[in-house]
Amino acid sequence: MTTFVGYSSINKNKNFTLVGDDLVRRDLLNAFNIRQGEVPGKPNYGTTLMSYVFETQTQDTERAILNEVQRVCAQDPRIFLNSAQLFPQQNGVLIQLAITIVPATEAQLLNLFMNQNTRSAEYI
């Protein structure tokens, strides 16, 4: 079985090492917090979701958000997106993701909140 190892200093005091599913979830959250085109040499990395959060939540906007979520998840070969549901909130958008971290076969449910006030993505 493959073990993913990486580092994160977010909300950490001493142990910066992340392994396995924690690392994959952190990498996915990072991808949702980076605006598309901000990473030098990777113009397609990141997302344009924040531009949709401030739009009126019509069916076209919701479809565009879900398409963007699928695009971002597809960029990481460790993640298989089983489903995504969208729930407009008063100060943002809640996106419920059912993902499978490859090579596992069990789906995990992630609640990703795109916050208008902080202009960031966070797990709740």
What tens digit of pLDDT does each residue of 25-50 get? 888 998 999 999 898 998 888 899 98
**Tokens read off for 85:** 């549901």
Q: What was the pLDDT predicted at 1?
A: 44
Domain boundaries, the chain: 5-123
pTM (predicted TM-score): 0.81
Closest CA to 52 of 15, 21, 95, 20: 95
Which residue from 97, 98, 91 is spatially nearest to 119, judged by alpha carbons? 91
User: For position 90, what pLDDT does the model report?
Assistant: 85
pLDDT tens digits, residue range 58-81? 899 999 999 999 999 999 998 999
The structural architecture, per CATH, of the domain 5-123 is Roll (3.10)
Tell me which residue of 80, 83, 84, 85 sits closest to 101, measured CA to CA: 80
